[in-house]
Amino acid sequence: MYTEILKIIEGGLSKDMKKVYSYSKLLAEKLGEDGDIKMSKSIIKLIENNMKSAATLDQLATAPVDQESRLSILDIYRPDNEETIIVLSDHIKSRIDDFVNSIKHQGRLKEMGIESPNTLLLYGPPGCGKSTLAKYISEKTGLPLVTARLDAIVSSLLGNTAKNIRKIFEYADSKPCILFLDEFDAIAKARDDQYELGELKRVINSLLQNIDQFAQSNILIAATNHQELLDKAIWRRFNTVIRIERLHDGELERLTKIFLQGVPNDFEDDKKKFERLTKLMHERSPSDIKSIIHNSIAQYVIKGHELLNYEDLLIEIYEFEHHGIATVEELVIYLNDQGVAQAAIAEKLSISLRQVRNVLTKES
Ligand SMILES: Nc1ncnc2c1ncn2[C@@H]1O[C@H](COP(=O)(O)OP(=O)(O)O)[C@@H](O)[C@H]1O
Ligand SMILES: [Mg+2]
C-alpha cells in the first residue's frame, strides 16, 4: 500500500506544492526499494525538473516590482546548463574568459588581499551579443543573472525611479548573483525627455552611489549601444570595459554554420558560394544574420523543400535589406551579380529565360 499517493493527491488539490514534492519523494524511495527502479527514477526526474521552475517562480514572486505599474522591474535567469552559444573574436573571447576566471577565483583572491575585476561594461552596436554575453557569463560562473532593464525603469514615474533603482540593488545584494544593467544608456537618454535636469541628476547620483556600494563585493555587468551618452563618472566605475563588435571572415562562417543547425543545403560545402554568402553578411549584425537564416529555414520547412537553396538564402538577404520590398527586376540583377546562372534565376523567380535576359540587357 502506498499511502503516499493519497497525500500527493491531497497536496495537489490544496495546491500545497511542498506536500506534493515531499510525498512524491517518499513514494519514489519506496518504489525503488520495492524494485520498481524505472518508475522511481521517473518520479525523481519529474520532481527535479519541476523544482527548478518552482524555485524560479518563488524568486520571481519576491522580486521587486514597480509600485505604480506592478510590473516586475527585474528578470531572473538561473543557469542550469551551458546552453548559450556565442561567437566572438579570439581577442574578445579571451578578455571575457579572464573576467569569468576572476569571478571564479574571487574568494581566493580576496583572501590574499588582491582586488579582482568585478565590474564589466559592454558596449557596441546593437545585435552583436551584449545581452547574450551576460547570460553566457552567468552560465560559466553558475551565478544567477538578475537583469534590470533600465529603459523600463526610467520610463516609470519619476518619483519611483530612484526608489526602483534602490530596490534593484537591495535585491541583488541579498543573494549571490550577477546584476546586469541592460540598456544602460536609458538613464542618460532620459535627459531630454520627461526629466528636469535637477531631478535627473539626483537619479544619476543615486545610481552611482548604488553602483559604488554594490561593486565592493558583487558582480556587476552593464551594457549599452550608446556609449557616447555615458559620462565619464560612469565609465570610471567599471574596471573592465569591452567593445563588442560585428564579426569577420572566419567568425562569420562559424556563426552561419551554427545558425544553419545542420539543415541540408547546397552551399556550405561549395567554397565559392559560401564565401559569397559570408561576404554579404559582413555588414550585418549576428542578430540580423540569425533572422535571415531562420527565415530561410522556416520557408524550407513550410514549403517542404529537400534542400535549403543558395538562391533562397540570397533572396532572403536581399529582402531583409530592403525591408521585404523587392521587384522581380531587382532580384534578377542581384542574383546575377551573385553568380547565379540565368536558367536558375528564371526557375527560382518563375519567369522565362527571355525575361531574365531582357532585364539583364536593359541593365548593362
Ligand atoms: N556574437 C554572437 N554570437 C552568436 N549569436 C549572437 C551574437 N550576437 C548576437 N547573437 C544573437 O542575436 C540575438 C540578439 O543578440 P543580443 O545579445 O540581444 O544583442 P545586443 O544585446 O548586443 O543588442 C540573440 O538572440 C543572439 O542569439
Ligand atoms: Mg541587448
- How much is the pLDDT for 300? 93
CA distance 236 to 158: 26
Q: What is the number of the ligand closest to the CA of 149?
A: 2
Closest CA to 79 of 148, 32, 165, 142: 142
Ligand nearest to the CA of 129: 1
What local confidence, expressed as pLDDT, does residue 133 receive? 97
Residue 13 C-alpha cell reads as 488539490
Query: Do the bridges between strand 74-77 and strand 219-224 make them parallel or antiparallel, or are there none, so unpaired?
Result: unpaired
Residue 293: all three cell numbers together: 537564416
Which of 93, 287, 289, 291 gets mutated to test ligand 1 (max ligand atoms within 8 A of its CB)?
A: 287
Who has greater pLDDT, 232 or 134? 134
Which of 315, 320, 270, 265 is CA-nearest to residue 290?
A: 320
DSSP string of 295-320, one letter each residue: HHHHHHHHTT-SSB-HHHHHHHHHHH
Q: Nearest ligand to the C-alpha of residue 286?
A: 1
Query: Can you give the pLDDT at residue 157?
Result: 60
List pocket residues of ligand 1, CB cut-off 6 Å: 85-88, 126-132, 223, 255, 286-287, 290
**179: CA distance to ligand 2 center in Å?**
14
Extract the C-alpha cell encoding 158: 519619476
Closest ligand 1 atom to residue 258 Cα is 4
Find the 288 Cα to ligand 1 centroid distance in Å.
9
Q: What is the Å distance from ligand 2's center to 103 Cα?
A: 22
Task: Please tell me the predicted confidence (pLDDT) of residue 69.
Answer: 64
- Per-residue pLDDT averaged across 159-169, rounded? 83
Delimit the CATH 3.40.50.300 region(s) of the chain: 74-243
Given a cut of 50, whether residue 312 has pLDDT beyond it is: yes
Given 3.30.70.260, 3.80.30.10, 3.40.50.300, 3.90.1300.10, which CATH number is that of 74-243? 3.40.50.300
175 CA distance to ligand 1 centroid (A)? 27
The more confident residue out of 97 and 115 is 97
Q: Which of 85, 122, 132 to mutate to test the pocket of ligand 1 (most atoms within 8 A of CB)?
A: 132
pLDDT over 90 (residue 325):
no
0.75 exceeded by the pTM? yes
Atom of ligand 1 nearest to the CA of 133: 17
State the Rg of the chain over Cα. Answer: 27
Q: What is the pLDDT of residue 221?
A: 97
Q: Is 198 exposed, middle or buried (0-12, 13-18, 19+ CB in 10 A)?
A: exposed
pLDDT (mean) for 37-55: 78
Residue 318: per-residue pLDDT: 93
> Taking 70 as the threshold, does the pLDDT of residue 127 lie above it?
yes
Encoded amino acid at 164, one letter: N
In this prediction, residue 192 carries a pLDDT of: 56
Kind and range of the H or E element at 99? helix 90-104
Measured in Å, residue 259 CA sits from the centre of ligand 2 at 19
What mean pLDDT, rounded, does the chain reach? 87
Of 29-43, 58-72, 222-236, 279-293, which gets the smallest average pLDDT? 58-72
For residue 244, give the ligand 1 atom closest to its CA: 22
What is the atom index within ligand 1 of the atom nearest the CA of 132?
A: 17
How far, in Å, from the CA of 59 to the mean position of ligand 2? 23
- How much is the average pLDDT of 324-334? 92
Residue 144 CA to residue 325 CA, distance in Å, equals 43
Considering every ligand atom shown, identify the ligand nearest to the alpha carbon of residue 135 and give its number. Answer: 1
In this prediction, residue 57 has a pLDDT band, given cuts at 50, 70 and 90, of very low
pLDDT confidence bin for 115, thresholds 50/70/90: confident
Q: Residue 17: its pLDDT value, please?
A: 73
Contact 356, 346 (CB under 8 A): yes
- Decide if pLDDT at 55 tops 60: no
Q: Does 197 have pLDDT greater than 70?
A: no
How far does residue 200's CA lie from ligand 2's centre (Å)? 23
CA angle 335/336/339 to nearest 5° reads 90
**What residues have a C-beta under 5 A from ligand 2, the ion?**
130-131
Looking at residue 71, what is its pLDDT? 66
